[in-house]
Structure 1
Amino acid sequence: MSYEQMAYVYDHLMADAPYESWVRYLCGETERFQAPGSRVLDLGCGTGELSIRLIKRGFDVTGVDMSEDMLAVAAEKAAEEGVVFPLFQQDMSKLGGLPECDIATIFCDALNYLSKPEEVRDTFRHVHRHLAANGMFLFDVHSIYQMEQIFSNQTFTWNEDEIAYIWNSFPGEDPHSIEHDLTFFVLDEESGLYGRIDEFHKQRTYPVSDYLDWLHEAGFDVLSVSADFSSDPPEETSRRIFFSCRKR
């Protein structure tokens, strides 16, 4: 599958994603808790949509993603928008050699793609090492409710002239995990035929208490835990949990 196909499918799937809400969250938290600077390490940056928005807000962004294809798309989108920023292909649980940052982010539940607790803990430790003194770490994750009540054993569909998909979600083998089986049919404008793209994704989350323990272990003070882009603490039916942390 070429990265042009992947980018089209990904950006189409994420067309309604609340990117501006993530930007507002970052701006609000970094102002409220006085981040030491504006250098941002955007982990799991994907096709660069959030990174580019942050650059336009005046942040100095470095993007990191494990997918070479996604990074190629991010570079192309940045050129189209007239911005330039460094991009690195790395696994967030094995970060190394990146520039020091004042703010590290893992948004859009990218952390949930790590399948083992050790990988999450390693990610926290590597983020801590790349942060400047008093640097901030902001991230979100799916809640257990989202995994087990919203995703589990559900089928989601979409049908338009240019793209259609069938998205089946079912419980994974690990606790609080989910597996997504996606099939896309994408129109090739030149041939007028539809091509099929199959994707399989696994995600896993943990109790808030686990994240808090791992953050403390890695050397972070947790400044705020909230839910669903609000300032309210998580409730039983919250879907997305946000953590604002500071390097000790």
Structure 2
Amino acid sequence: MKYGKFAAVYDGLMEDIPYEKYVEWVASHVPSGKLLDVACGTGTLSQLFAEMGYEVTASDLSEDMLTVANQRFQEANQSIPVLQLSMDNLEGLAGFDIVTIAIDSLNYLQSGEQVRQTFREAYEALNSGGHFFFDVHSVFKVDKVYMDSPFVYDAEEIAYIWHTEPGEAEHSVIHDMTFFVRQNGLFERFEETHEQMTFPVDVYIKWLEEAGFSIESITADFSDQAPDEESERIFFYAKK
């Protein structure tokens, strides 16, 4: 997927995401180490991990996202290697203590086999005893919460109208977004269509175990609580 203009507005749209809690979650289990931030987007989380002292490598499939990430790292005087890679093909990367796939990035994969391959790639990238952290949308969020669209966002520089509809696959959603971004006093309009897919928790567990991981914890919604039927974001911590 090419994100184009979306990369330029991504950080504004994600400003309510508690990235610091994500870092705290990882640090509470693994306080240091060599970390691969897969699907890093514009690099917000990579930057925070680096500030905490982790040795960070950032990867993403989108050249546009990586351009923004590189600029972020340069402005912060951080030396973070950046790689353009798909999360289901990490091209033989190895030697990491930690792999993260954050903020529902895994849900952009378009088949169960891609998810399974991503788990295998993460496993191979980790040292023995390495740690794997990721989160996904719950089935409840995809099937119920997202179907309450349209959603509207209106800020000083950015506004959007966000429509959703079920995708062809079970537990999938199509996001159709129309953006209005202020440019030199005028608003430029552009459109984006994204598709996401998720799976029940027990399916993710099965695939993680097939890849060789042991499950350390499964929690929900940036808390230490186990998921319930109306949890919206599920957090997995697994170990090689």
CA distance in 2, matches of 1:12, 1:184: 12
2:201 corresponds to: 208
Residues 163-197 of structure 1, C-alpha deviation per residue, up to 9 Å, x if partnerless? 211011111111011110001011112xx222112
2:22 maps to 1:22: yes
Following superposition, the deviation at residue 2 of structure 1 comes to: 9.3
Following superposition, the deviation at residue 153 of structure 1 comes to: 4.3
C-alpha change, 1:98 and 1:82, in structure 2 (3 Å) is: same
1:147 corresponds to: 142
1:159 corresponds to: 154
Is the contact made by 1:179 and 1:200 (CA closer than 8 Å) also made in structure 2? Answer: yes
CA distance in 2, matches of 1:125, 1:166: 37
Residues 120-162 of structure 1, C-alpha deviation per residue, up to 9 Å, x if partnerless? 0000001101100100001100001111111014111112332
2:181 corresponds to: 186
Is the contact made by 1:165 and 1:183 (CA closer than 8 Å) also made in structure 2? Answer: yes
Query: Helix, strand or coil: the match of 1:222?
Result: strand
CA distance in 1, matches of 2:64, 2:8: 12
2:93 maps to 1:87: no
Pairing partner for 1:115 from 103, 110, 115 = 110
CA distance in 1, matches of 2:30, 2:164: 35
Is the contact made by 1:153 and 1:170 (CA closer than 8 Å) also made in structure 2? Answer: no
Pairing partner for 1:124 from 119, 124, 128 = 119
Following superposition, the deviation at residue 99 of structure 1 comes to: 4.5
Is the contact made by 2:213 and 2:238 (CA closer than 8 Å) also made in structure 1? Answer: yes
C-alpha change, 1:2 and 1:154, in structure 2 (3 Å) is: closer
Query: Helix, strand or coil: the match of 1:83?
Result: coil
Residue 11 of structure 1 aligns with an amino acid whose one-letter code is: D
Please report the TM-score for the alignment, with normalisation by the length of structure 2: 0.95
Percent identity over the alignment is 45
Q: Mind listing any 5+ residue stretches in structure 2 that lack a counterpart?
A: none
CA distance in 2, matches of 1:30, 1:145: 30
2:43 maps to 1:48: yes
2:85 maps to 1:105: no
Number of aligned residue pairs = 239
2:231 maps to 1:231: no
CA distance in 2, matches of 1:206, 1:2: 24
C-alpha change, 1:199 and 1:2, in structure 2 (3 Å) is: closer
Root-mean-square deviation over aligned CA pairs = 1.5
C-alpha change, 1:153 and 1:172, in structure 2 (3 Å) is: farther
Is the contact made by 1:29 and 1:244 (CA closer than 8 Å) also made in structure 2? Answer: no
Residue 16 of structure 2 aligns with an amino acid whose one-letter code is: D
Is the contact made by 1:7 and 1:73 (CA closer than 8 Å) also made in structure 2? Answer: yes
Residue 215 of structure 1 aligns with an amino acid whose one-letter code is: L
